[in-house]
Copies of this chain bind each other. A is one copy, B any other.
Amino acid sequence: MPGQVFHKTVPVRFEDCDPAGIGFYPRMLMMVNRLIEDFFAEALDCPWHRLHGRENRAVPTVRLEVDFKGPLYQGDALDLELRVLKVGNSAFTVAVAGSVGGAAKFAVTQVLAYTTAGPGISASPMPDALKAALREFSAG
């Protein structure tokens, strides 16, 4: 059933914050990457160790758009929500919203390609099962 949202709450850790005392933005993108990794393993039945291993495929990010809306602090419980915006033949787009206690902290739009792995990276058609699983998380 389309319209699902993949949700996790993660702590803002000591290591995520900078000497100015707030979340350091490249590490927020690391958090988003972890969410996408969990989304693949838990919601799409496509854990990355199998994708990169046996299936010899990869999902490199090709475009990233981020709005940072407010600072994160050490000890915050960060709510992350992932929705699928678009499912193409060998690429897909996700939106990830980060918030703390209902206050928006960042919004990410990220385009990932589905490719062969290894030195000669090239676009590869996504399996139908993966496309169908992705569509469960799109607005429909």
Q: Measuring CB to CB, which residues of chain A are less than 8 angstroms from any residue of chain B?
A: 13-15, 17-22, 24-27, 29-30, 33-34, 37, 47-50, 52-53, 58, 60-68, 71, 73-75, 117-119, 121
Assembled-state Cα–Cα distance A66/B25 (Å): 14
Asked if B34 contacts A15 (CB within 8 A), the reply is: yes
A67's partner among B53, B63, B68, B117 (CB-CB below 8 A) is: B63
Asked if B64 contacts A60 (CB within 8 A), the reply is: no
Asked if B29 contacts A26 (CB within 8 A), the reply is: yes
Asked if B22 contacts A60 (CB within 8 A), the reply is: yes
Asked if A21 contacts B19 (CB within 8 A), the reply is: yes
When distances are taken between beta carbons in the complex, the residues of chain B under 8 Å from A53 are: 74
